[in-house]
Amino acid sequence: MHILNVLYYILKRMISKYFSRLLVLVINLLLISSCLNSTNDKVEYSPDAQIYAFSLSSKTDTSNLLSATKFTIDQINGKIFNQEPLPFQFGVDSVVLNITGVSTYSPFTQVQLRLDPDSTYNWIRSDSVAVSRLNQITTTAADGKTKKRYDFELNIYQQDPYILTWEHINTGYLPASIASQQTIAFKNRFITYFNTGTAIQAISSDSSSGTNWTAFNPAGMPNTLLLSSLVTANDFVFGLDATAGTVYCSADGVNWSQVITSHPVKAIYGELPLATKGNILIAIDLDGTLTFAETDNFTVLNPMNKVPANIPVKDFSASRVDIPTSYSIKYIILSGGTTKDNTNNTDIWILQEKDGIITHILSRKPTTITVNGSSLFFYDNKPYMMITSSGRNALIYSENFGLDWKMAAENQTFPAGFNQRTNASVIIDAANYIWIFGGISATQTQLADIWRGRLNKFVNN
């Protein structure tokens, strides 16, 4: 009987213990349920009907151009469009829309599409859309009331954007007989310096027109100045008397004076991106050794490493390559010209500063291309070069910023009236025009004409 009493006591304690816990659990569940019902009664759905991300895709777009296209969402004016048009003759029948609102999950209670000529329907995410007819998107926010309307544009080039269209601007704006010439763009003017054989003279024009030229005599410029050495940098024009290794500069292009340098200067290559000791890259004679140096204004020269053999030091063409979005694509490209031994340079050089020294590599170019008398320029975010080929001028360009080169297509050929030339001055202006000034003809005479060209893609920019 004693044992039964003990068992009864234990069973009673267990029931009491677990029943109390069960009771607490039930009460807590009731409280939670009550709180949830209370919260549900006070939910405020977002009134934000804005689209925050937008993209398109299509199974028939085998090149994935649509999925890579960036769309601008103009919240103020209610517009969605691609700023960079799709290629000429691009077309797909239907697309899939990817629209993201303030929340990735169910941001809108409704998305309404309007298609030409006059069709409106409520969009379901899996729907295919005739994108050529889509002109408007209207979203309704999660609150079921607030709406936002966007006009939609899918921009496609209506003509080949890579056709270069040329126009003849001027002929005979220089004296009949000159020995050499060079044109620069400086402080909103074109200035053409030309050597008559006894003196250097100049003529200038507003850089927007290339007409109405005014002649002047550059004061203080020696007639031995190498015109192909002229470089604009840091609000000055610099030029080199290659025979003496002396440098001359001008703040206005008219009045010139000699700059006293600590070493003879043998070449001026131009402005070097990411320079640490001065942004003008030059070659100097350092105790009999041709050496790279950097400077700001030639009053202080900062020697670097030895100049490699066979690099051009005279009559070369140079172009600065500086991609703002890239840390590594910042250098100078050289072509043509002659070396210190007066032999022709047959290579395309890439010069870049790294760890305080100038490194160099040679570009890969087709073996049939000669760079003698070539003209480099940076256009449409890529290096171009005007060369002579098969008795005429042609353009080559690089899609990897100078490492490899290929011939431009037929849509970038020069017009029939463009005389074959070498050593022309090529300038790119703010309106994306390519200006070509003079040069040496196939009969070794100086040309005195001006041409201007531009890609179709820049016509309406």
Q: Per-residue pLDDT tens, the chain, 461 aa: give them.
A: 444 444 444 444 544 544 444 443 444 444 444 445 544 556 788 899 999 999 999 999 988 899 999 999 999 999 999 998 898 889 888 999 999 998 766 689 999 999 998 899 999 888 899 999 999 999 999 999 999 999 999 999 888 889 999 999 999 899 878 999 999 999 999 999 999 988 999 999 998 888 889 999 999 999 999 999 999 999 999 999 978 889 999 999 999 999 999 999 999 999 998 877 889 999 999 999 999 999 999 999 999 999 999 999 999 999 999 998 888 899 999 999 999 999 999 999 999 999 889 999 999 988 888 999 999 999 999 999 999 998 999 999 999 999 999 999 999 999 999 999 999 999 999 999 999 999 999 999 999 999 999 999 998 66
Provide the CB-side half-sphere exposure for 253 (13 A, CA): 23
DSSP calls for 247-304: EEEESSSSBEEEEP-SS-EEEEEEE-TT-SS-SEEEEEEETTEEEEEEESSSSS-EEE
- Through-space distance between the first and last CA atoms of the chain, rounded to whole angstroms: 106
- Would you state the structure tokens that stand for residue 436, as one six-digit string? 């070509």
Burial 336-362 (b: 16+ CB within 10 A, else e): bbebbeeeebbbbbbbbbeeeebebee
The DSSP secondary-structure symbol of 70 reads -
Query: What's the farthest any 2 CA atoms get from each other in the chain?
Result: 140
Burial 176-208 (b: 16+ CB within 10 A, else e): eebebbbbbbbeeebbbbbbeeeebbbbbbebe
pTM comes to 0.76
Find the length of the chain. 461
Q: How far is Cα 333 from Cα 46, in angstroms, rounded to an integer?
A: 56
The DSSP secondary-structure symbol of 179 reads S
User: In the chain, what are the domains?
Assistant: 53-153 (no CATH), 164-458 (2.120.10.10)
Q: How far is Cα 189 from Cα 194, in angstroms, rounded to an integer?
A: 16
